[in-house]
Amino acid sequence: MILTQKMKKIFISLFAFMAVLGAFAQEKKEFKVMTYNIIHGAMAPWEELSKFISQFHPDVVMLQEIDINTHRKNEEHLHDRNLIAELGYHTKMFSAFGKSISFSGGYYGLGLLSKYPIVKMERVLLPMLSPNHEQRSLLMAIVELDNGDQICVGSTHLDLHADARMAQVQHINKVMLANNLPSIVAGDFNATPDEKEIKYGMSEWMPAMANDAYTYPSEKPETKIDYVFAYPRQAWQVKSAIVPPVQMSDHAPIVVEYEILTTK
């Protein structure tokens, strides 16, 4: 068959169009999240924790109970260690720390690891209903994907008292949703799914797993107090969600893989 000049132009245009479609199809649409209360590394060294985290190839990891340069009694092997820096180094991820309290000669709080650059980070102190309660916080960050889209992520660890948790959840909603970005918040909420701070306080968010996906205690999980939530619901689709059976902490971790449906 002899191709005319016009037909050649059509074929060239068609090939160019197919190339664009191929590039679009290969564009990263998945976003994998892990959350883990690691009990300040007391049950597993950072090398083991790092290997465990890395095997899942997460995009973002939300961590709770992070120690920085503390001196806990009978834990001399953990003294003067920067846990989040160690985890960031061994996982080859960007790292961030949010102090909740000064503790045992150092600092205690929340951590984030990110495969992608962190373009903005903020430590948000959450409401305290009593000066006798421990200060709780939210570590919030905006990460920038390779295509330039941005995602807001947050790690948190809530109070042991229900009324305080409700006030804290309301504050998390206020500060995170003000970004007008697809958002994920995860962590140790210290509340079961039937409690008001989860059932009502997080009702606008999409939970990653069913209520019977138990996370505590790790040896034999019988309750759920750790969560991953996504907002808005129409921006996210859960592709897979698991609670790995591992005992590197008193909590079990959660690993969720999402498909990002829209970043607008």
**CA 53: distance to chain centroid?**
12
- Arithmetic mean of pLDDT, 175-187: 96
Starting at the earlier edge strand, list the strands of the sheet with 137-144: 118-125, 137-144, 150-157, 183-188, 226-231, 206-207
pLDDT score at 9 = 54
pLDDT score at 140 = 98
Q: What is the pTM of this model?
A: 0.88
Confidence tier at 115 by pLDDT (50, 70, 90): very high
pLDDT score at 4 = 63
- Arithmetic mean of pLDDT, 87-99: 97
Domain boundaries, the chain: 29-260
pLDDT score at 26 = 46
pLDDT score at 83 = 92
pLDDT score at 22 = 42
DSSP 171-185: HHHHHHHTT-S-EEE
Q: Dump pLDDT digits (tens) for 131-174.
A: 889 999 999 999 999 999 999 999 999 999 999 999 999 999 99
- Arithmetic mean of pLDDT, 198-207: 98
Q: How far is CA 42 from CA 61, 150, 200, 250, 259, in A?
A: 19, 34, 34, 10, 34
Q: Dump pLDDT digits (tens) for 1-56.
A: 555 665 555 544 444 434 433 443 445 589 999 999 999 988 998 899 999 999 99
pLDDT score at 256 = 98
Q: Is the pLDDT of residue 208 over 70?
A: yes
Answer for the pair 263, 216: CB distance below 8 angstroms, yes or no.
Answer: no
Among residues 136, 177, 132, 131, the alpha carbon closest in space to that of 37 is found at 136
pLDDT score at 21 = 37
d(CA 238, CA 30): 10
What are the backbone dihedrals phi and psi of residue 27, each rounded to the nearest 5 degrees, phi first? -60, 135
pLDDT score at 7 = 55
CATH classification for the domain delimited by 29-260, as one of 3.40.50.720, 3.90.245.10, 3.90.550.10, 3.60.10.10: 3.60.10.10
d(CA 158, CA 211): 18
Q: Dump pLDDT digits (tens) for 118-141.
A: 999 999 999 998 888 999 999 999
- Arithmetic mean of pLDDT, 174-200: 97
For all residues of the chain together, what is the average pLDDT?
90
Token match 């465990």: residue?
A: 52
Among residues 160, 190, 207, the alpha carbon closest in space to that of 37 is found at 190
Burial of 26 (0-12, 13-18, 19+ CB in 10 A): exposed
